[in-house]
């Protein structure tokens, strides 16, 4: 049965390619990235000395124009478990993106389905090194990298100096939802010059009183062919309906410098001002959930050809003293990260 499905898919793609006009031809693309990692030190002594190869992400995308001003995207993702305690499992594909995009005006478009939310879209583009590490809110499990809903985005003015992105979604990532609570997200950006970006973002996630939260963030970035700089502050208030309400705050700064053809220096610091109760769920890099922390990322990228990137790097997490008066051990993870585009 699987072979028949695969055959039908191949024939369908081939037919589209042969008989559709150039504007309607499907485009298949993808990329993959992973690491060779070594746990040199950790707050969890049981994983110290662990090492190995893993693919953190593999993406396969299908994009096609299906009608005038209508486009569809289907993207599959495969990822390692990323847990250093349990035994890993084979990479299994699941749907990452699945949306219809309608450009109903040259400066405005609507997306329906699973797509990238306003929370990280501008920030991830500014950071530019998703294959090295997630953006701060995504990493700290304060936001999803995808959500299921309807989004409106575009330019407020004809020049694109002011842009907007508004989304009404489930608030459950790329999973379906059965409760009545929804998440509303909105961002507004200001691009006075080509190299400068300023963005303000706010959201409200109504989770039926189980864990409602309100998030706001400010982002500023400079990006040229040689130098990139970024500064982010985010604040998230959780309302649990009990006496366990809490606040999460992150201040992040990054810098990248293309000091030579095919070579770049990369640095980033994320300061988490409070203990994150979900920190132990973060994959690929162990975090302790009892204390505030500071993450340091440093690397050097070698880009021998446009489609291949190699980045020796290290991630270090240093903790504050927790409420019990102890300081969790420092995380030190040297890695060789690889990134391929096809």
Query: pLDDT for 186-208, tens place per residue?
Result: 999 999 999 999 999 999 999 87
5 within some domain: no
Q: What is the pLDDT of residues 161-194, one digit of tens each?
A: 999 999 999 998 887 777 778 999 999 999 999 9
Taking 50 as the threshold, does the pLDDT of residue 3 lie above it?
A: no
Q: Is 243 helix (H, G, I), strand (E, B) or coil?
A: coil
258 within some domain: yes
75 within some domain: yes
18 within some domain: no
Taking 50 as the threshold, does the pLDDT of residue 157 lie above it?
A: yes
| 107: DSSP letter | T
Taking 50 as the threshold, does the pLDDT of residue 5 lie above it?
A: no
Of 47-61, 79-93, 208-222, 317-331, which range is least confident? 79-93
Give the closest residue to 164 by CA, choosing from 113, 105, 213. Answer: 105
CATH number at residue 210: 2.40.160.10
The range of the structural domain enclosing residue 118 comes to: 24-341
Residue 139, class by beta-carbon neighbours within 10 Å (0-12 exposed, 13-18 middle, 19+ buried)? buried
329 within some domain: yes
Taking 50 as the threshold, does the pLDDT of residue 238 lie above it?
A: yes
19 within some domain: no
Taking 90 as the threshold, does the pLDDT of residue 22 lie above it?
A: no
CA torsion sign for 244, 203, 79, 148 is positive
110 within some domain: yes
Q: What is the pLDDT of residues 25-43, one digit of tens each?
A: 999 999 999 999 999 999 9
- Pairwise CA distance, residues 204 & 247, whole Å: 14
pLDDT band at 21 (very low <50, low <70, confident <90, very high): low
Cα angle 310, 196, 188; round to 5:
105
Q: What is the pLDDT of residues 68-125, one digit of tens each?
A: 999 999 999 999 888 877 666 788 899 999 999 999 999 999 999 999 999 999 999 9
**Number of alpha carbons in the 13 Å side-chain half-sphere of residue 222:** 7
State how many domains the chain has. 1
Model confidence, pTM: 0.90
9 within some domain: no
Query: Residue 84: what pLDDT?
Result: 79
């Amino acid at each position: 049965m699987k072979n028949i499905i695969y055959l039908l898919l191949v024939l369908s793609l081939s037919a589209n390619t042969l008989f559709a006009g150039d504007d309607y031809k499907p485009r298949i693309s993808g990329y993959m990235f992973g690491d060779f990692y070594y746990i040199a030190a950790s707050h969890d002594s049981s994983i110290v000395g662990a090492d190995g190869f893993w693919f953190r992400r593999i993406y396969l995308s299908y994009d096609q124009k299906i009608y005038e001003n209508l486009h569809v995207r289907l993207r599959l993702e495969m990822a390692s478990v990323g847990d250093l305690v349990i035994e890993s499992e084979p990479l299994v594909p699941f749907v990452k993106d699945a949306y219809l995009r309608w450009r109903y005006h040259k400066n405005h478009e609507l997306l329906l389905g699973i797509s990238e939310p306003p929370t990280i879209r501008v920030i991830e583009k500014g950071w530019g090194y998703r294959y090295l590490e997630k953006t701060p809110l995504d990493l700290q499990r304060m936001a999803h990298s995808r959500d299921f809903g309807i989004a409106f985005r575009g330019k407020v003015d004809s020049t694109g100096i002011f842009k907007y992105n508004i989304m009404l979604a489930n608030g459950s990532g790329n999973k379906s939802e059965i409760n009545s609570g929804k998440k509303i997200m909105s961002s507004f950006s200001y691009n006075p010059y080509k190299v400068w970006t300023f963005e303000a973002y706010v959201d409200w996630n109504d989770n039926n009183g189980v864990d409602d939260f309100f998030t706001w963030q400010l982002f500023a970035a400079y990006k040229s062919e040689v130098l990139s700089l970024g500064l982010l502050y985010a604040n998230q208030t959780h309302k649990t309906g009990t006496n366990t309400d809490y606040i999460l705050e992150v201040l992040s700064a990054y810098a990248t410098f293309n000091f030579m053809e095919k070579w770049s220096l990369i640095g980033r610091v994320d300061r988490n001002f409070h203990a994150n109760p979900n920190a132990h769920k973060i994959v690929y890099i162990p975090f302790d959930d009892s204390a505030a922390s500071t993450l340091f990322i440093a690397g050097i990228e070698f880009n021998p050809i446009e489609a291949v990137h190699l980045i020796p790097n290290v991630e270090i997490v240093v903790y504050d003293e927790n409420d019990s008066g102890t300081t969790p051990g420092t995380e030190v993870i040297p890695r060789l990260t690889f990134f391929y585009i096809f």
